[in-house]
Structure 1
């Protein structure tokens, strides 16, 4: 059944010009960037799907908030407005602003983890895994088996495998598990949601073993919207009510507010009630981010973040947001282009392993497809697969990811139906000549988070 495009619940008041380079120019630019899309200049990109983090369009109310932001070094009113929003939406007693999500992880995780410890997650995203390893601990992914089959359409493929979680705790010992992290939505698994039932069951296991449960809350609103649409008993609940229940099962959260809070910069740490842990977080914030009432942000950032938290949970907006993904997915269904299904909340994760079966994981099919998309239509995307996963921190050997995805992360309130049709047309065109696409090898890489900086070249 063909999906109808959901009309934007807003009018466009300002535009940013973009232009398409020629095919020859694009091929030259990506070669100059050493075949790493992160090295491209933004002006050389036509449609930028590298990330949905900080690339979103703020509203007129948020821009008005930029003017009203209180730039006091300590105790500014914008800080207190943000605290009130966190208490109202999440129900947490304590909140600490930081400049983005990885800063939240840097402040918090060193307090929970260390040598000989483990972090278990439904899936760690790249910076989360990096901060676990930087603490000396090791990260273990524990997503449900259904997530491994991109063609399998089940409602909550982002869930924690609670049976395996229990076995991992028994294997390593509860005292060695520094934290359990529930990522909502589960980005590395294709933007897949986590159910309330799974959140509750995970919480009960953590409480039984006295283990802290932390939510990676970057896309909390999209996850709540999926629960409203897919989980029995929640269809008549408001998104805000669902959010309050989700977070009631955890002890803390980290958030990149650059996603569902629809701001260009910002992050949060939330602590439900542990005053001692919050005190330690404040001390580390002062060292790494700045004074606690600004946390590495300007007053204008705090103001727009407080407004954006509410705009991100608006149900008309969320219907449109999910509708964009469903429209693109429907176009791909018609053309037989495989992706992680059902489609997630912040992008479409194309199954590069399916499209490029001749490219082995160590030649990075997800990355190869990303390069082809840029050459084909000026679209910048990234790999969510073995290239991003990197090397084993103990052996140095290339790890094989559970998935080989190319992520088309769609910025909020930025692109139109015409842009999405270009995305679909480009993927369909590449599929028709997929057997000509070559893999890539790394010519230089840093020791951690390599995908941001590595240099590559095509396999000849």
Structure 2
């Protein structure tokens, strides 16, 4: 059932193939460098790219721009406590600002941070503190076709292996990302969350939930975890988040806003440490680098995210795209997650080795064929991690319709039919920080004479 009707529309146009070719070459074969007006269907990210509701737009008009103690902050504080159960909130300009504030307060040189799977900015913030980021994905996460309900879970077995190897005193931080973005957006069960909380408590570590997509995760729990059958998304979300000592949040995801983020906790000592960093890097702790109007819109969106009907519509739109891609014969990760469809680039281009970035090659071909922009989450984005070669097609909230998804599926089908013409890529520029190189690095196609492909590579 469609939950929304449109009040404002934006005209979009598909640039000619010649224009797309020029744009791709000019961008150094990195679609982050392509102007948005050159993109037809933009699935680069679901972060801050969705359509806000009429209630959020009304909140923008009422935003209180006071530097300290604004009404908008009070509204956010109330929404966070109501929806997530945390009484203390430090707003930030977006999720990575919240990561900087929280992880900067918790990590020191030589520490180890555990996560079911670190995303790019999370890994970079850990590294920026001189700490090591270690992934502890569930064993089912590597099986892209496995029909398992919670492939995003944290592996306690792997967590204990790390603790036994480095010592509990070097592991002050355990993070659980819900849903698990880097593991194809797969959900995490409440039972796994409980066990991770117990694990963190046993090693005396702070347990943080990266709650960017907490409402989508709660929807999957309601569908797949028998204990929670018949429970509301709002009830499930509060219980799952309640096992954490703190949450880090990008308001540009499941707070349905175009800007913003926050750290939330019930720990008075931790909140004071975070406030000090927030003042240095974000602004006064009641505005956090945001305008009051954006704070107000985020407060409204946080409540809307757990309202009946919203998440069902959200997840169904992603499933629609997944079904169309499967009908087109495109290899995808199954079951699809809540915010994106992940393409299996290794199956798409079996002859392109990881050193030639098959996922980035696929990203380029999707743009070349149909002006569709996605993002690579494989050997290009994560050079030092053992990750599958994936391309994420992230669906902005309440933005695109079936006709757009049909175009994406047809574009992917065309790329698949011309897969023999695709070339691997090599780096031309390599930024200093490898954890975030995929945002700015430039590449070029690998010619036949310089290809490092080997017969029987796969």
The question of a shared fold, defined as TM-score above 0.5 by the shorter chain, is answered with yes
Correspondences of 1:410-449 after superposition (within 5 Å):
410-448=395-433, 449=436
Question: Is 2:81 the partner of 1:87?
Answer: yes
- Partner in structure 2 of residue 197 of structure 1: 191
Which runs of 5 or more residues in structure 2 are unaligned? 448-458
**Residue 372 in structure 1 maps to residue 372 in structure 2:** no
Structure 2 distance, partners of 1:344, 1:152, is 13
Per the TM alignment, residue 400 of structure 1 is displaced from its structure 2 partner at its CA by: 5.3
What's 2:226 paired with?
A: 232
Matched, 1:312 2:312: no
Q: CA–CA distance in 2 between the matches of 1:221 and 1:447? A: 36
SS in 1 for 2:249: strand
SS of the residue corresponding to residue 175 of structure 2 reads strand
Q: State TM-score, norm by structure 2.
A: 0.96
Q: How many residues align?
A: 445
Which aligned pairs between 1:283-294 and structure 2 lie closer than 5 A? 283-294=276-287
Structure 1 residue 336, shift from structure 2 partner: 2.9
User: Which residue of the other structure, out of 380, 385, 388, is the alignment partner of 1:403?
Assistant: 388
Cα distance, 1:8 vs. partner? 2.8
TM-score normalised over the length of structure 1: 0.95
Query: 2:237 maps to what in 1?
Result: 243
Give a deviation string over 1:371-391, Cα, whole Å, max 9, x none: 00000000111101110013x
Contact map agreement 2:328 2:410 (CA 8 A) in 1 = no
In 2, Cα distance between the equivalents of 1:318 and 1:110?
32
Deviations 1:327-355 (A, max 9, x none): 12112222332211100010100000111
Residue 260 of structure 1 deviates from its aligned partner by 0.9
User: Over aligned residue pairs, what C-alpha RMSD do you find?
Assistant: 1.0
Q: 1:336 aligns with which of 329, 332, 338?
A: 329
Question: Is the Cα contact below 8 Å between 1:151 and 1:338 reproduced in 2?
Answer: no
Question: In the alignment, which residue of structure 2 is the partner of 1:451?
Answer: 438
Distance (Å, rounded) in 2 between the aligned partners of 1:116 and 1:75: 38
2:20 equivalent to 1:34 = no
Q: Is the 8 A contact 1:364 1:387 kept in 2?
A: yes
Helix, strand or coil for the counterpart of 1:315?
A: coil
Deviating more after overlay: 185-194 vs 328-337: 328-337
1:297 aligns with 2:293: no
Q: Which residue of 2 aligns with 1:54?
A: 48
Give the deviation of 1:315 after TM superposition: 2.8
**What corresponds to 2:455 in structure 1?**
none
1-side partners of 2:324 and 2:267: how far apart?
Answer: 48
Is 1:147 matched up with 2:141? Answer: yes
Closer, same or farther: CA 328–308 of 1 in aligned 2, 3 Å: same
- C-alpha distance in 1, partners of 2:113/2:283? 27
